[in-house]
């Protein structure tokens, strides 16, 4: 009987595909990774054109050959197919509803602020440094801050769902380093910042960070850290569909 093919993930360093990498790593599910340069993501991507015409990562090839996108959908797929997958609360878990609420919020409310604010030329024909492009970048950045403050006001810690560790905490690892930056999170949303820092120390996150070429250094506050080898905060490396 032929050995089943592993999952294959098309990923870009520093992007939301790291969330899927970590989820697979924690689930101990074999995963083949195909690196796609940041410059080759988007509508004109050569590597992804046939698989995902939107040119977004993560793009996942299932063992049977079908294509799956959207990090939230991929994580829910793992919950459906991997025995004892602990990153998604079970249907009868008291935190199940909250998990689904915030998972969709992250990908449907916060992620689009990067979609429209990262490559402003795509939407208004002007770069982020001037004119309509600058206005769009600033407006989406400010809206994102408002959304994060709202999220922070709704959680108690130490994890996103209180005492229940979940995939939401994985999301906070990269997203807590993207704009508006980890120093902002430390000051404005300390509970979310603590999750990002705790996740950074997780062995699986360390392994994924190393594979993505990320390194960390002390930031302005002794309690904060920032990604320096790749700067997804400024270059907007989040072509993750809706996440």
- Domain borders along the chain are 7-81, 97-235
Q: Which helix (H) or strand (E) covers residue 11, if one does?
A: strand 7-11
State the number of CA atoms in the 13 A half-sphere of 96 facing the CB: 8
87-136 pLDDT, tens digit each? 999 999 999 999 999 999 999 999 999 999 999 999 999 999 999 999 99
Q: State the Cα–Cα distance between residues 207 and 26, nearest whole angstrom.
A: 11
Q: Does the domain at residues 7-81 carry the CATH identifier 3.40.30.10?
A: yes
Residue 90 contacts residue 99 (beta carbons within 8 Å):
no
Architecture of the domain defined by 97-235 = Up-down Bundle (1.20)
Summarised one tens digit per residue, pLDDT across range 49-98 is 999 999 999 999 999 999 999 999 999 999 999 999 999 999 999 999 99
Q: Do domains 7-81 and 97-235 have the same CATH topology?
A: no
DSSP state of 43: T
| pLDDT, position 181 | 94
Q: How is residue 35 annotated by DSSP?
A: E
* Cα distances (Å, whole numbers) of residue 62 to 10, 66, 124, 142: 12, 5, 36, 37
Q: What confidence tens digit (pLDDT) does each residue in 139-157 have?
A: 999 999 999 999 999 999 9
* pLDDT(243) > 60: no
Q: How many angstroms separate the most distant Cα atoms in the chain?
A: 61
CA neighbor of 209 nearest in space, from 229, 182, 238, 191: 229
Report the predicted TM-score, pTM, of the whole model to 2 decimal places: 0.88
């Amino acid at each position: 009987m032929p050995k089943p093919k592993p999952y294959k993930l098309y990923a870009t360093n520093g992007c939301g595909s790291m969330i899927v990498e970590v989820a697979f790593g924690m689930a101990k599910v074999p995963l083949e990774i195909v690196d796609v340069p940041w410059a080759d993501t988007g509508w004109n991507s050569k590597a992804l054109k046939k698989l995902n015409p939107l040119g977004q990562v993560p793009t996942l090839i299932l063992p049977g050959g079908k294509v799956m996108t959207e990090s939230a959908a991929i994580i829910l797929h793992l919950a459906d197919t991997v025995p004892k997958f602990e990153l998604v609360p079970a249907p009868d878990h008291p935190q199940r509803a909250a998990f689904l609420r915030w998972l969709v919020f992250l990908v449907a409310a916060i992620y689009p602020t990067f979609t429209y604010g990262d490559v402003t030329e795509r939407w208004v024909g002007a770069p982020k440094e001037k004119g309509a492009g600058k206005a769009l970048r600033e407006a989406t950045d400010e809206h994102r801050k408002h959304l994060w403050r709202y999220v922070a006001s709704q959680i108690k810690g130490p994890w996103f769902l209180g005492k229940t560790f979940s995939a939401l905490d994985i999301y906070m690892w990269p997203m807590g380093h993207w704009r508006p930056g980890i120093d902002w999170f430390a000051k404005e949303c300390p509970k979310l910042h603590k999750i990002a820092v705790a996740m950074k120390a997780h062995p699986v996150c360390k392994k994924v960070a190393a594979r993505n070429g990320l390194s960390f250094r002390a930031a302005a506050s002794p309690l904060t850290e920032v990604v320096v080898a790749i700067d997804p905060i400024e270059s907007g490396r989040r072509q993750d569909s809706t996440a």
